[in-house]
Amino acid sequence: MVRRFLPLLLLLSFVGIAIWALTAEREEQVRSKLVGQPVPAFALEPAIEGKPGLSSADLAQSEGPRLVNIFASWCLPCKAEAPLLDALAGEGVPIDGIAVRDRPSDILAFLDEHGDPFERLGNDPRSEAMIALGASGVPETFIVDGRGVIRYHHQGPLMPADLPALRAAWEEAR
Amino acid sequence: MMRPKQQRLVLVVAALVALGGAALLALWGLESRAAYFVTPSDIVAGKVEAGVPLRLGGMVREGSLDRKPDGVTVSFEAVSGADVVEVSYTGILPDLFREGSGMVAEGRLGADGRFLADTILAKHDERYMPPPLEKAQAAGETLER
Amino acid sequence: MIAEFAHGALWLAAALCLMQLGLGVAALRGEQAISRAIRPIAAIQALLVVTAFAALIWLFWRTDLSVALVAANSHSAKPLLYKIAGAWGNHEGSMLLWLTVLTGSGALFAAFEKRLEARTMAASLAAQAAIGIGFFAFLLLSSNPFERLNPSAVEGKGLNPLLQDPGLAFHPPTLYLGYVGLSVAFSLAVGAMLTGSVGSALARAMRPWVLGSWIFLTAGILAGSYWAYYELGWGGYWFWDPVENASLMPWIAATALLHSVGVLAARNALKAWTMMLALIGFSMSMVGTFLVRSGILTSVHAFAVDPERGAFILFLLTFYIGAALLIFGWKIGHVRDSEPFEPVSREGALVANNLLLSVILALVFIGTLYPILAEAMGEQISVGPPYFNTVIGPLALILALLLFVGPKLRWRRGGPLFSPLGIAGLLLSAAMLVITFLLGWNLTILERLGLSIAPGLALASLAPLWGRNLLRTPAPITGMVVAHLGLAVLLAGMAAESGFTKERLVLARPGEQIEVGPWTMEFEGTRPVAGPNWTAVEAELRASRGSGPVLLKPQSRYFSSPPTQTSEAALATDWDGQLYAVIGQGSESEGWQLRLWWKPLVTLIWLGGFLVTLGGLIALIGRWWGEWRRRRRLAGSGYRERRAW
């Protein structure tokens, strides 16, 4: 009798594995191990005229936590997250930017079209700072506390659904 | 000639034996033929045996790409965290392969500690798609050769 | 308005589908009178869905950018063929296509199946409707293809350029036809188990659907394989990629079912086994769809991936297949015993065929899913060609050896094991094996055995025609012989491709000469070319080997929307193989990377695949023709077949 239901058991074990695979948190392969570590040393030239560049020293001597956003004008998801960053900047959240493999003219056009939430904006033409920070693409966003320690790392564009986690990390970093 | 009942039993037993055999064969095949996914850190930490088929995932370090004089062999450094492994590959690099981007190499670790790749897969730099855009793009793939 | 009308038609069809389920259940419980209404309901339902699908194609044709799906997947600059193919080149459209085929085949089944017992018919149609409802819900609730965009888009977002290819435009629909055909076999099995009428009549009703879907699956897999061969530019035709395996698994199950349903039809044997295979066939279609759509397996093939949709498909899969397997466990004991047979008999050979195919199916299944299982245990593993070739190659060869004797054995009690042609084939294979050694060919064991078995198998596969008048041979037998002959050709092609391929990878400057196998290729240079929505660098290669030169023009294409680069391989076919050229990176000063292959006899793979498909078609059309003539004869003699309804 059991034998007749054997195929059903096989199906259920398949479904079990599949549910696990669908729900399990799938860690990105190249995730930063730098959360909890000081920002690696880097110093970036200003990306556009009239706005200071960004260096790890700037982040280490800040009054409170700051958001660091790695983006590029050629990156589609960066456009998607731009409104949210603008809103955060409007709330008074200090945000610094790192423009990866980009041209000043393109960056200006991007900021014109999608708003400019950045206090400082470093130019990273060879992705050096991006790699030093352990980012594997654009956009990615970090929370760096006042002492220059990375407290939070978000990969991919910031979406409204990501805000609660971001705000929680922000409160903790204060 | 067997009675139908006996025959049915024989068939069921044959089916079970066949599936059991399949499972054993699969286990043997997976044991000896499947490739583990490793990072440069695993290799630096000495967790990886030379000569075993592997998949290596990591970032291509900026400025490390070097073309050999034959024009078709390249070497570059794959990094994860602070760990670095040199990768050597003969062939046409995928269109999306860039310095500073992620990549996956299939191949094996040589005795000299270099990774000898048979195939390189490049990760999209813009692979992160927010749901609304993802719907718009219908571009779900993360790997391209 | 068209979009809104089509959307309404889908809702109406869904309501009719629900009605079909209710009426089917009522008929199963003995309300015979009610069941008459099912046939027109199935027909109208199909008509509504077909109309909605036609509307979607129309919207894509016109590039109506006020429809979200069109804006997301099309582009006004796209060639017309790909605009139309874009209708099903995305998740929503492909689900609508799935439903179109599902309801369409349901309607065909309801309209033309007249010999099946009424209660079984009603139960099967109810099962078919139950499957339909799940997909209607999926389509209407979570993936409405007719959603409007407000304001409408200025320009579409294009289609993945890799998908802009005739092979791929028609690859998914072909596979869907195959998957859905298996759903009819599934419904029939469920219906027959519920009414306890598993037997020859059921097998005869099921066989055309199995055969039809098997033909589509074969053709679909071939098209996909050929697409991978020339579009991806990797020089191979099969990569054991999860997406490929997802289409291969239903094919293996359908092949096994095709053979066992023949036993059930002819000999009323293998009842439970055939029902199980009918359930497995459609299960594999659902599992394959789930694996591809949910993205739980990373694949190198481009596909729309969404875990939520994956969850929905998983839910449907669990529900339908779980229910069917419950019915199997609960009801199969009531199925009367099968007719007995001796081990050495046609039935015995077909059982061996089924067991081997089941083992192969299990091996593909395990190999495809193992990476997920390993991840659950904290390891990351990829399972690729080394595993699949090693474990499946030998079994496929044993299956080929079985073909030397199987088709010529007698039903029930076996006569002699070998037919004259079978012996001749075996001798030819043995001679070929010796020849491969004498010629000093450097081959792996599998390649050597494959090359030896293939010619003998080609000869032995003709055995069922031995002593027959070719003109009077029944079409199903001719079809079987052609398909088996195709397998021999396919085997020869695969072994030759694997054993004899010559490959060169060079950095060449214009004017340089490159030797590949017997060919000399002269690299003439590169020039820019442009298409409707791409620009490309095109290399010109002049290949010759004594006879007149052949021109190859591989391209490296750049698409603007979305920005992508693809390699267009160049192929040149000669009587004994194909030249294959790919251009990589390079510049005028440094030279260009060229990857060149000479693949002797690779054409046999496509020829063999074509013969296998053709064999299926001959058998299917032959059976239809026979049935039609039988009805004509009955009608002519004044006898009206009593309708089961």
For residue C562, whether the previous peptide bond is cis, meaning omega lies within 30 degrees of 0, is yes
For residue B117, list its beta bridge partners. Answer: B89, B107
Assess whether B20 and B61 both reside in one domain: no
Extract the tokens encoding C384: 């690729």
Residue whose pair of structure tokens reads 């009587």 in the numeric block: C575
pLDDT of C563 reads 58
CA–CA distance, C353 with C359 (Å, rounded to integer):
10
∠ CA C548-C550-C552 to the nearest 5 degrees? 165
Averaged pLDDT for residues B60-73:
80
A170: left (phi over 0), alpha (psi -120 to 50) or beta: alpha
Assess whether B46 and B111 both reside in one domain: yes
CA–CA distance, C589 with C595 (Å, rounded to integer):
19
CA–CA distance, B75 with B86 (Å, rounded to integer):
7
Name the pLDDT band for B135 (thresholds 50, 70, 90).
Answer: very low
A3: which chain B residues are within 8 Å (Cβ-Cβ)? 12
In contact, C285 and C209? CB cutoff 8 Å: no
Architecture of domain A27-173: 3-Layer(aba) Sandwich (3.40)
Largest CA distance in chain C: 85
Name the pLDDT band for C156 (thresholds 50, 70, 90).
Answer: low
pLDDT exceeds 70 at position C602:
yes
Residues 6+ apart with CB under 8 A from A60: A38, A39, A147, A148
Average pLDDT of chain A is 80
- Range among A48-62, A97-111, C442-456 rated most confident: C442-456
CA–CA distance, B25 with A13 (Å, rounded to integer):
20
Regarding predicted confidence, which is higher, B24 or B62? B24
Q: Alpha carbon of C83 to those of A22, A122, C86, C96, C362: distances in Å? A: 33, 43, 5, 16, 39
The reply, when asked if residue B132 is annotated as ligand binding, is: no
* A76/B126 Cβ within 8 A: yes
- For residue C513, give the H/E element and its range: strand C513-516
CB-nearest to B62 from A30, A131, A155 is A131
pLDDT of B1 reads 54
Neighbours of C587 (CB within 10 A): 9
In contact, C187 and C134? CB cutoff 8 Å: no
Name the pLDDT band for C155 (thresholds 50, 70, 90).
Answer: low
Name the pLDDT band for B35 (thresholds 50, 70, 90).
Answer: confident
CA–CA distance, C443 with C453 (Å, rounded to integer):
14
Domain of B87: which CATH number?
A: 2.40.50.140
Terminal Cα distance for chain A, rounded: 64
Assess whether B28 and B50 both reside in one domain: no
Three-state SS for C342? coil
Amino acid identity of C443? L
Neighbours of C446 (CB within 10 A): 18
Q: For residue range C535-562, list pLDDT tens digits in order.
A: 888 888 888 887 778 888 888 887 665 5
Neighbours of B31 (CB within 10 A): 9
Neighbours of A13 (CB within 10 A): 11
Name the pLDDT band for A137 (thresholds 50, 70, 90).
Answer: low
Terminal Cα distance for chain C, rounded: 40
Cα-based torsion angle of the residue sequence C536, C542, C545, C550 in order, rounded to the nearest 10 degrees = 70
Buried b (16+ CB within 10 A) or exposed e, C60-94: beebbbebbbbbbbbbeebeeebbbbbbbbbbbbb
CB-nearest to B140 from C304, C340, C565 is C304
* A155/B128 Cβ within 8 A: yes
For residue C506, list its beta bridge partners. Answer: C594
CA distance A147 to chain B (A): 22
B33: which chain C residues are within 8 Å (Cβ-Cβ)? 383, 386-387, 390-391
* Phi and psi torsions of C522, nearest 5°: -105, 125
Query: A9, A14, A75: best mutation site toward chain C, by most C Cβ within 10 Å?
Result: A14
Assess whether B71 and B23 both reside in one domain: no
Largest CA distance in chain A: 80
CB-nearest to A22 from C296, C321, C333 is C296
CA–CA distance, C282 with C217 (Å, rounded to integer):
12
Three-state SS for C614? helix
CA–CA distance, C19 with C12 (Å, rounded to integer):
11
State what percent of residues in chain C have pLDDT above 70.
91
Extract the tokens encoding B79: 């990094």
pLDDT exceeds 80 at position A2:
no
Buried b (16+ CB within 10 A) or exposed e, C147-183: ebbeeebeebbbbbbbbbbebbbbbbbbbbbbbbbbb
C294 interfacial to chain A (CB closer than 8 Å): yes
Assess whether B52 and B118 both reside in one domain: yes
∠ CA B113-B119-C589 to the nearest 5 degrees? 95
**Nearest to residue C644, comparing CAs of C39, C21, C184?**
C39
∠ CA B93-C497-C366 to the nearest 5 degrees? 75
Domains in chain B, number: 2
SS (H, E, C) chain A: CHHHHHHHHHHHHHHHHHHHHHHCCCCCCCCCCCCCCECCCCEEEECCCCCCCEEHHHHHCCCCCEEEEEECCCCHHHHHHHHHHHHHHHCCCCEEEEEECCCHHHHHHHHHHHCCCCCEEEEECCCHHHHHCCCCCCCEEEEECCCCEEEEEEECCCCHHHHHHHHHHHHHHC
pLDDT exceeds 50 at position C435:
yes
Amino acid identity of A99? A
CA–CA distance, A158 with C173 (Å, rounded to integer):
37
In contact, C428 and C451? CB cutoff 8 Å: no
Average pLDDT of chain C is 84
Extract the tokens encoding A78: 């960066």
Query: C593, C596, C597: best mutation site toward chain B, by most B Cβ within 10 Å?
Result: C593
Averaged pLDDT for residues C605-625:
92
10 Å CB burial of residue C607 (0-12, 13-18, 19+) is: middle
CB-nearest to B127 from A33, A137, A159 is A137
pLDDT of A136 reads 61
In contact, A95 and A88? CB cutoff 8 Å: yes
Three-state SS for C271? helix
Q: For residue range C176-233, list pLDDT tens digits in order.
A: 889 888 999 999 999 999 888 888 889 989 999 999 999 999 998 998 888 778 776 6
Which residue range is the domain that position B120 belongs to? 36-130+137-144
Neighbours of A61 (CB within 10 A): 9
Of A59-63, B1-5, C516-520, the one with minimum mean pLDDT is B1-5
Q: Alpha carbon of C412 to those of B4, C267, C268, C274, C349: distances in Å? A: 13, 8, 11, 17, 11
Chains that touch B (3 or more CB pairs under 8 A): A, C
CB-nearest to A17 from C328, C332, C372 is C372
* A7/C276 Cβ within 8 A: yes
The reply, when asked if residue B89 is annotated as ligand binding, is: no
Amino acid identity of B145? R
**Nearest to residue A136, comparing CAs of C608, C19, B142, C358?**
B142
Provide the number of CB pairs (under 8 Å) joining chain A to chain B.
Answer: 63
For residue C528, list its beta bridge partners. Answer: C537
Name the pLDDT band for C279 (thresholds 50, 70, 90).
Answer: very high
Assess whether B43 and B16 both reside in one domain: no
pLDDT exceeds 80 at position C380:
no
Name the pLDDT band for C399 (thresholds 50, 70, 90).
Answer: very high
Assess whether B17 and B59 both reside in one domain: no
Assess whether B18 and B53 both reside in one domain: no
In contact, C468 and C593? CB cutoff 8 Å: no
**Nearest to residue B141, comparing CAs of A78, C90, C305?**
C305
- For residue C592, give the H/E element and its range: strand C591-600
pLDDT exceeds 70 at position A26:
no
Average pLDDT of chain B is 72
Give the start-to-end residue ranges of the domains of chain C.
1-159, 476-500+604-645, 502-600
Q: Could you tell me where the beta strands, DSSP code E, fall in chain B?
A: 35-38, 54-60, 66-67, 73-80, 83-90, 102-109, 115-123, 143-144
Neighbours of C427 (CB within 10 A): 12
**Nearest to residue C375, comparing CAs of B105, B43, B122, B37?**
B37
DSSP C22-55: HHHHHHHTT-GGGGGGHHHHHHHHHHHHHHHHHH
Neighbours of A167 (CB within 10 A): 12
Extract the tokens encoding A17: 């594995």
Three-state SS for C472? helix
pLDDT of B142 reads 30
In contact, C68 and C145? CB cutoff 8 Å: no
Assess whether B107 and B79 both reside in one domain: yes
Between helices C603-636 and C475-500, what is the axis angle to 10°?
Answer: 170
A156: which chain B residues are within 8 Å (Cβ-Cβ)? 128, 130
* A128/B128 Cβ within 8 A: no
- Range among A157-161, C12-16, C296-300, C500-504 rated most confident: C12-16
